[in-house]
Amino acid sequence: MAMARRAVKAEPLAGALADAGLVRGDGFVGGWVGAEERFAVRDPATGEVVAEVARLGVAEARKAVDAAQAAFAGWSVTLPQDRAALLRRWYELILAHREDLARIMVAEQGKPWSEALGEIEYGASFVEYYAEAARRPDIEGVTSHLPDAEVEIWREPVGVAALVTPWNFPSAMLTRKAAAALAAGCTCVAHPSAETPLSALALAVLAERAGFPAGLFSVVPGEAAEIVGEWCSDARVRALSFTGSTEVGRILYRQSADTVKRLVLELGGHAPFIVFADADLDQAVEEAVKAKFATSGQDCLGANRFYVERSVYEPFCARFAEAIKALTLGPGMADCDLGPLIHERAVEKQEAHVADAVARGARCLVGGARDGQGPLFYRPTLLVDVPDTAKIMREETFGPVAAVTPFDSEEEVLVLANATEYGLVAYLHTMEPRRIYRAARALQFGMVAVNRTKVTGAPIPFGGMKQSGIGREGARWGLEAFTEIKYVCRDWH
Ligand code: NAD
């Protein structure tokens, strides 16, 4: 692959920003690196090319690890207050440019403006949180069990960390990983999804402006399988933190085996949303709309299947239908409730899940079709009486289709909720305190949201059970994932 530089065709987006320098189409590999071959990033709302980005590959992936390995020697021994200060500078720059960063995200991802702005602030909160954590490294200890010996336990950064992120949260998934890894004393090489590389590259621009030493944080856009495959096989990469589909997670898990890497896998979800008859029905409907339609349904935390106790099933479906009919759909900058989906495959999946459910006897009360605004707009949709055999009750739909079905007993619904390979988040609506504990215990999910939808944030352990992943992000667990424990036993004499 040739390495000649070429100008990026990014004028329309850059022109809309206060700081045009945030749109970069080159990779950041210990410094900015171009390529003759470039790939188009398109606005999902219009199909227009937003920018052309360098298609990097194995050579640049290796070069990024060379740079990260070289930077590790200094960064791993940087004093806590200095590490914290650098992360803090990055955080302040992200916040200062939040509107431009959100504008970039809307252009490549399509999500509504308010959600994009919310994601930038959510993503920045991890940088702030880990800047503070970097200043106060944990001190752990145990009392010696051996005579005449002193026992010490140290936490050390694991080394170079590879970070691989998806298109649905192109900024926050990267800051959630990078801030934790950097606070732990690791250096990072990151690969963003081909649909949304600009958000990651804008974070690299701000990292450079914050004064990150060369090699501390590289962003390598291009051929995913080549770049990430190279990192998986490189023994110098000691940790891999991946957010994406369970399917790709399995591949990377296998590919990391030969070099026995530390792994964090944040994978797919298939969240159940359970409404008992004693729930506050208005609140349940309001939360159901948020749990299903945030990020236009393209959210790993998105509720995919709604189980409603039979005695309140009809009123719930009627109110849910009214709430869905009121939702607005439009390009991200119009700041409607929903935007376009990311690509044609995503729209086809909605169509396939709706057709399959209807063929099995479900009724479509709202939506159920593409919208005339553009090929990637799919209307918010409500399916009721969906049988358990329907694909939508088994697979992640990752779009704006809600599937509702009635249940008759607590035992029955908990079995249905757990009958999946996924275990990321479950939503529970009931006012009965003992049932909350019984159900929250029984649900095999890493996160359980009770009578609410929003549960995420930097100070909590985010992650899934079963095939929704390995490890947790956020809080001290997110930082510890990038560390090794060293035990030192010293004779006194
Ligand atoms: P994806 O698995 O297709 O891609 C994720 C990343 O992996 C991208 O950077 C992509 O370039 C890279 N990739 C793709 N194929 C690869 C390969 N063969 N080898 C190496 N790398 C490869 O996922 P996506 O479509 O971008 O994102 C949607 C998925 O992410 C959904 O399943 C969603 O549930 C999941 N997700 C999970 C969380 C979480 O925290 N658990 C958060 C957001 C999204």
Instruction: Tell me the best of 119, 176, 245, 396 to mutate to test the pocket of ligand 1, counting ligand atoms within 8 Å of each CB and taking the most.
Output: 245
The confidence band for 136, taking pLDDT boundaries of 50, 70 and 90, is confident
**Residue 357 phi/psi, 5° resolution?**
-65, -45
Look up residue 251 and give its amino acid: I
Which residues, at least 6 apart from 409, have a Cβ–Cβ distance to it below 8 Å? none
42 Cα–ligand 1 center, Å: 18
The closest-lying atom of ligand 1 relative to the alpha carbon of residue 473 is 40
pLDDT at 493: 80
CA distance 195 to 281: 38
pLDDT at 137: 75
Answer yes or no: is pLDDT of 10 > 90. Answer: no
The confidence band for 140, taking pLDDT boundaries of 50, 70 and 90, is confident
- Name beta bridge partners: 379: none
Residue 338's domain spans which residues?
271-419+425-457
The closest-lying atom of ligand 1 relative to the alpha carbon of residue 166 is 26
- Tokens of residue 342, six digits: 């990311």
Does residue 493 lie within any of the structural domains? no
Q: Whose CA is nearest to atom 42 of ligand 1?
A: 300
Look up residue 192 and give its amino acid: P
222 Cα–ligand 1 center, Å: 14
410 shares its domain with 430: yes
61 Cα–ligand 1 center, Å: 18
Q: Whose CA is nearest to atom 8 of ligand 1?
A: 193
278 shares its domain with 331: yes
Q: What is the CATH number of the domain that holds 440?
A: 3.40.309.10
The closest-lying atom of ligand 1 relative to the alpha carbon of residue 164 is 9
The percent of residues above 70 in pLDDT, for the chain, comes to 98
26 shares its domain with 155: yes
The mean of the pLDDT values for the chain is: 96
The closest-lying atom of ligand 1 relative to the alpha carbon of residue 268 is 34
Does residue 371 lie within any of the structural domains? yes
Read off the pLDDT of residues 256-299 as tens digits, 9 standing for 90 and up: 999 999 999 999 999 999 999 999 999 999 999 999 999 999 99
231 shares its domain with 283: no
Answer yes or no: is pLDDT of 8 > 50. Answer: no
- Tokens of residue 326, six digits: 């009121």
Domain count, the chain: 2
Read off the pLDDT of residues 175-194 as tens digits, 9 standing for 90 and up: 999 999 999 999 999 999 99
Q: What is the mean pLDDT of residues 330-350?
A: 98
What residues line ligand 1, using a CB cutoff of 6 Å? Answer: 164-169, 173, 191-194, 224-225, 228, 243-245, 248, 251-252, 266-269, 300, 396, 398, 424, 464, 469
| Four-point Cα dihedral 257, 259, 265, 267, nearest 10 | -50
The confidence band for 11, taking pLDDT boundaries of 50, 70 and 90, is low
411 shares its domain with 429: yes
Q: Whose CA is nearest to atom 13 of ligand 1?
A: 224
Which residues, at least 6 apart from 372, have a Cβ–Cβ distance to it below 8 Å? none
Does residue 492 lie within any of the structural domains? no
Q: What is the CATH number of the domain that holds 125?
A: 3.40.605.10
Q: What is the mean pLDDT of residues 68-88?
A: 97
169 Cα–ligand 1 center, Å: 10
Read off the pLDDT of residues 88-98 as tens digits, 9 standing for 90 and up: 999 999 999 99
pTM of the model as a whole = 0.96
- Name beta bridge partners: 366: 382
Q: Whose CA is nearest to atom 19 of ligand 1?
A: 225
Instruction: Tell me the best of 56, 111, 164 to mutate to test the pocket of ligand 1, counting ligand atoms within 8 Å of each CB and taking the most.
Output: 164
196 shares its domain with 328: no
251 shares its domain with 296: no
CA distance 97 to 363: 46
Exposure string of 304-320, with b = 16+ CB inside 10 Å and e = fewer, is: bbbbbbeebbeebbebb
The confidence band for 5, taking pLDDT boundaries of 50, 70 and 90, is very low
Does residue 213 lie within any of the structural domains? yes
Q: Whose CA is nearest to atom 18 of ligand 1?
A: 225
246 Cα–ligand 1 center, Å: 8
Task: Name the residues annotated as catalytic.
Answer: 266, 300
pLDDT at 184: 97
38 Cα–ligand 1 center, Å: 21
Q: Whose CA is nearest to atom 22 of ligand 1?
A: 224
467 Cα–ligand 1 center, Å: 14
**Angle CA(198)–CA(64)–CA(26) in degrees, nearest 5?**
30
Read off the pLDDT of residues 427-472 as tens digits, 9 standing for 90 and up: 999 999 999 999 999 999 999 999 999 999 999 999 999 999 999 9
